[in-house]
Amino acid sequence: MKQAQAVIQNFAAESRALLSAMEDALLLLEKTPDAPDALNAVFRAAHTIKGTAGIFGFDDMVAFTHVMENILDDIRAGEVSVDSTLIALFLSCGDHCWALLDRIQAGETETDAALRFAGQTLIEQLAAYSVPVLEMSPNTAVRAMEDQPALEPELENIGGDAVSSDTWHISLRFGKDVLRNGMEPLSFIRYLGTIGDIKAMVTLFDAMPGADEMDAESCYLGVEIDFSSSADKETIENVFEFVHDDCTICILPPHSKILDYVRLIDSLPEGKNRLGELLVSGGALTQRELEDGLRLQQSFDEQNNTPTTDEGHAHKLGEILVEQGVVQTELIHAALDKQRVIKEHRAQENSFIRVRADKLDELITLVGELVIAEAGTRLLAQRSGNGDLIESTLSAETLVEQIRDSALKLRMLPIGETFSRFNRVVRDLGQELGKQVELVLSGMETELDKSMIEKISDPLMHLVRNALDHGIESPQVRQQNGKAATGKIYLNAYHDSGNIVIEVDDDGAGLNRQKILNRAIERGFIKADQELSDQEIYKLIMEPGFSTADAVTNVSGRGMGMDVVKRNIEDLRGSVTIDSAEGAGTTVVIRMPLTLAIIDGFMVGVGHATYVVPLDTVVECMELSAEDRAAIRNRSYLNLRDQVLPLLRLRDVFDTSGEAGRRENIVVVQCAGQQAGLVVDSLLGEFQTVIKPLGILFEMLVGISGSTILGSGEVALILDVPSLVQQASTREMQQVTYKQANNPAAI
């Protein structure tokens, strides 16, 4: 039961990936209707989903995608033209497939009435585009045949006399693990019968061992099938897609060469006489064709010393055909290149395995506990003073660090898939609002922890919708202001100082500073005489319930979106900044850590407390001289190589009791292009940090982002560097402003 459920979950996951690819292809097709690759991508997605759904008996999905496939066939044949209305219809069809998948994953065996009605409505709308078969011109039929994939790779389908049989021959040997993987062999045979007629089928159990050696969970089944169908080879192969890697499958088209059948006999485990008899009795070969084929193969091998590999066989056979003038050299080279590409693609597919996300989470948790245990072991080794033991623990520490890095990389995924989802959002919402908008994506390859990707989607959705609704103007207004009618929204991601930075930028109207200020005073967020910088004013739009919209719509106006963005980002130990220029656009910058699990840290001591600074933010460390200590008593900045360095005394920030020692140090940290110095008592060195979340009581603690467990068992707090840098910069700016106002000569 669990295995069957796992297979269904895999089917749903792969189908969702196909639907996402189909959506991207449809949006591309809307912009460039003559893009054949995009159209083929849509067709492949619908075709593959239909085939795999049929294997599992999901009839509603099969029937619906079959109608989609028919219309796509007509489009490929040139009988139906692509326009925005048809694209919108296919996008709605994709949404319906998502809904069907949701029910399949939930274990619902039947489609409810509402979903069935929605599907029927879409089918009726698709039917309006359908081209009657009798009205197809001869040229259409020719084009349709040309568009179908070749039934066989060019060189594999020629050589030797053709057999008289006009049926496909399918030779299938199921792998031993098919049953263990939750597959039912008979379901594939049943589905094969839906695309054609099984003329003859012989079941083989030759691979089954004796009763004392037989494993009841293993599959020993083989079949030889004569099959009549108008389907192409790709369609027939897709029937067995879910067991392709576990089975041995050979498909020979009607009137294949005798040599192809002989090679099939040579490749299978049963004896030649046994298989020859089966092929003759089933009608695939006549007795004379079998004898001629075996004799021809033997002669060919002896005279031409044919290589045993498929590629070598094809190459040698190609040379013979060129010499005889049957084909051109270019065709042979093209065929060989095609075969090589197919093999490389299959090799890449076989290099990936699908792993459940919860198993990766469990691995990361165990690695985190391993890091903590190793830190304790290292501490005990140092206390013992045993040199050999210390050296051994250092070696173990290196290995643990490598294991940690490898484990974390397993969960790192490109953010591009998340970005691509917004193409549909921008298209649909732009049409709803009557705006022309282009989404520009960059940094798609930037990697982020899977858990972070899942949690960043909603905040990004709010920001993109906000940019569309509030930022981008209508085409008429943009043209009146000297802008292009089509507005642009930019999504960009990149790494910076151990963080990932995501920028949401638009070239719209920008934020109205005075309007935000007036609304904030009106709602009581600030006082009328309060002086704020531009950044502080822009941040007001992220306050709960704040909105500058004059009317509430189904998109925005309730003052809930930006508050959600701020809260969700801060929950991820991240920060949000806003910059804007009225009339030119707005930029929202999100900065988050790459992972929420394990980081490299740098430990510092303040009094009896230990703090951890994320190592990626550390620029340098230095001892604070007596002269500098005296100089910064009345100010919060230091001259560092002719640059102003804002300072924060962690002893003051966290109200640490006691007096500082005779020596103090500065840890220079950097975030978002700004630097600040953290004044600490001691430097304790690097430390692999397993991040533990703070409890509910400490969630609003300023300057702290989490905690960790040291090797001694004590708890150390992890510093929130972005907020500390911002705090230091603000304090230094306030001091400079105060001195300018009260003593200009001192500046």
**pLDDT tens digit sequence for 171-184:** 888 888 888 777 77
What is the distance in angstroms between the CA of the first residue and the CA of the last residue of the chain? 77
For residues 728 and 646, what is the distance between their CA atoms, to the nearest angstrom?
Answer: 5
Reduce the secondary structure of 485-520 to three states and give it as a string: CCEEEEEEEEEECCEEEEEEEECCCCCCHHHHHHHH
Residue 60, classified by CB atoms within 10 Å of its CB into exposed (0-12), middle (13-18) or buried (19+), is middle
Hey, how many other C-beta atoms are within 10 angstroms of the C-beta on 379?
15
Domain shared by 124 and 172, yes or no: no
Mean pLDDT confidence for 252-274: 67
Domain shared by 574 and 640, yes or no: no
Domain shared by 211 and 141, yes or no: no
| CATH number, domain containing residue 86 | 1.20.120.160
Is residue 340 one of the residues assigned to a domain?
no
The predicted pLDDT at position 154 comes to 37
pLDDT at residue 3 tops 70? no
Per-residue pLDDT band at 147 (split at 50, 70, 90) = very low
Per-residue pLDDT band at 330 (split at 50, 70, 90) = low
Is residue 717 one of the residues assigned to a domain?
yes
Mean pLDDT of the chain: 78
SS3 at position 394 = helix
Residue 617, classified by CB atoms within 10 Å of its CB into exposed (0-12), middle (13-18) or buried (19+), is buried
Angle, alpha carbons 364-368-372 (nearest 5°): 170
pLDDT at residue 668 tops 90? yes
Pick the residue with more confidence: 294 or 518? 518
pLDDT tens-digit readout, 475-488: 999 999 999 999 99
Asked if residues 637 and 720 have their Cβ atoms less than 8 Å apart, the reply is: no
Domain shared by 381 and 462, yes or no: no
The predicted pLDDT at position 144 comes to 33
Pick the residue with more confidence: 689 or 502? 502
pLDDT at residue 317 tops 60? no
Mean pLDDT confidence for 694-721: 81
For residues 616 and 498, what is the distance between their CA atoms, to the nearest angstrom?
Answer: 5
Mean pLDDT confidence for 722-733: 75
Q: Among 260-269, 451-460, 714-723, which is the least confidently predicted range?
A: 260-269
SS3 at position 629 = helix
Domain shared by 542 and 680, yes or no: no
Hey, how many other C-beta atoms are within 10 angstroms of the C-beta on 36?
11
Sheet containing 598-606: order of strands: 682-690, 598-606, 609-614, 715-719, 704-709
Nearest CA-CA partner of 254 in 321, 162, 154: 162
Domain shared by 586 and 441, yes or no: yes
- Give residue 355's Cα distance to chain centre: 14
The predicted pLDDT at position 273 comes to 52
589 - beta bridge partners? 503, 577
Mean pLDDT confidence for 20-30: 90
Mean pLDDT confidence for 341-345: 55
Mean pLDDT confidence for 40-60: 83
Amino acid present at 437: V
For residues 715 and 733, what is the distance between their CA atoms, to the nearest angstrom?
Answer: 34
pLDDT at residue 711 tops 50? yes
Pick the residue with more confidence: 365 or 337? 365
Per-residue pLDDT band at 134 (split at 50, 70, 90) = very low
The predicted pLDDT at position 113 comes to 84
pLDDT at residue 558 tops 60? no
Domain boundary among 372, 392, 410: 410
Domain shared by 667 and 681, yes or no: yes
The predicted pLDDT at position 477 comes to 93
Domain shared by 36 and 133, yes or no: yes
pLDDT tens-digit readout, 615-647: 888 999 998 888 888 777 777 888 888 888 888
| CATH number, domain containing residue 261 | 3.30.70.1110
Buried b (16+ CB within 10 A) or exposed e, 124-147: eebeebebeeeeeeeebeeebeee
Q: Among 361-375, 497-511, 729-743, which is the least confidently predicted range?
A: 729-743
For residues 515 and 524, what is the distance between their CA atoms, to the nearest angstrom?
Answer: 14
The predicted pLDDT at position 671 comes to 80
For residues 15, 217, 220 and 53, what is the CA-based torsion angle, rounded to 10 degrees?
-20
The predicted pLDDT at position 237 comes to 85
Is residue 544 one of the residues assigned to a domain?
yes
pLDDT at residue 388 tops 80? yes
For residues 628, 631, 632 and 638, what is the CA-based torsion angle, rounded to 10 degrees?
-60
Is residue 292 one of the residues assigned to a domain?
yes
| CATH number, domain containing residue 655 | 2.30.30.40
Mean pLDDT confidence for 392-415: 88
Is residue 183 one of the residues assigned to a domain?
yes
Domain shared by 395 and 418, yes or no: no
Give the domain extent around 264.
154-305
Helix (H) or strand (E) holding 449: strand 447-449
Q: Among 300-304, 352-356, 627-631, which is the least confidently predicted range?
A: 300-304
Helix (H) or strand (E) holding 577: strand 575-581
Highest mean pLDDT among 204-208, 551-555, 576-580: 576-580
User: What tokens were used for 299?
Assistant: 């002669």
Domain boundary among 117, 147, 177: 147
Per-residue pLDDT band at 188 (split at 50, 70, 90) = confident
Pick the residue with more confidence: 332 or 612? 612
SS3 at position 128 = coil
User: How many domains are contained in the chain?
Assistant: 5
The predicted pLDDT at position 474 comes to 93
Domain shared by 442 and 586, yes or no: yes
Pick the residue with more confidence: 204 or 346? 204
pLDDT at residue 79 tops 90? no
**Size of the chain in residues:** 747
Is residue 46 one of the residues assigned to a domain?
yes
The predicted pLDDT at position 93 comes to 93
Pick the residue with more confidence: 138 or 112? 112
Is residue 426 one of the residues assigned to a domain?
yes
pLDDT tens-digit readout, 422-479: 999 999 999 999 999 999 999 999 988 888 888 888 899 999 998 998 899 999 999 9
Alpha carbon distances (Å) from 211 to 178, 185, 223, 225? 20, 21, 21, 27
User: What tokens were used for 289?
Assistant: 């064709």
Q: Among 345-349, 606-610, 640-644, 669-673, which is the least confidently predicted range?
A: 345-349
Mean pLDDT confidence for 296-301: 51
Pick the residue with more confidence: 688 or 459? 459
Buried b (16+ CB within 10 A) or exposed e, 282-302: bebbeeebbebbbebbeebee
Domain shared by 624 and 722, yes or no: yes
For residues 16 and 663, what is the distance between their CA atoms, to the nearest angstrom?
Answer: 60
pLDDT at residue 716 tops 70? yes
Reduce the secondary structure of 211-250 to three states and give it as a string: CCCCCCCCCCCEEEEEEECCCCHHHHHHHCHHHCCCCEEE
Per-residue pLDDT band at 142 (split at 50, 70, 90) = very low
Task: Work out the percent of the chain whose per-residue pLDDT is above 90.
Answer: 17
Is residue 352 one of the residues assigned to a domain?
no
pLDDT tens-digit readout, 235-244: 888 888 777 7
Sheet containing 575-581: order of strands: 437-442, 487-496, 499-506, 585-593, 575-581
For residues 719 and 671, what is the distance between their CA atoms, to the nearest angstrom?
Answer: 13
Domain shared by 628 and 512, yes or no: no
For residues 412 and 605, what is the distance between their CA atoms, to the nearest angstrom?
Answer: 32
| CATH number, domain containing residue 532 | 3.30.565.10
Largest Cα separation within the chain, whole Å, is 111
Pick the residue with more confidence: 202 or 80? 80
Amino acid present at 72: L
Domain boundary among 593, 623, 640: 593
For residues 717 and 615, what is the distance between their CA atoms, to the nearest angstrom?
Answer: 14
Hey, how many other C-beta atoms are within 10 angstroms of the C-beta on 737?
12
SS3 at position 143 = helix
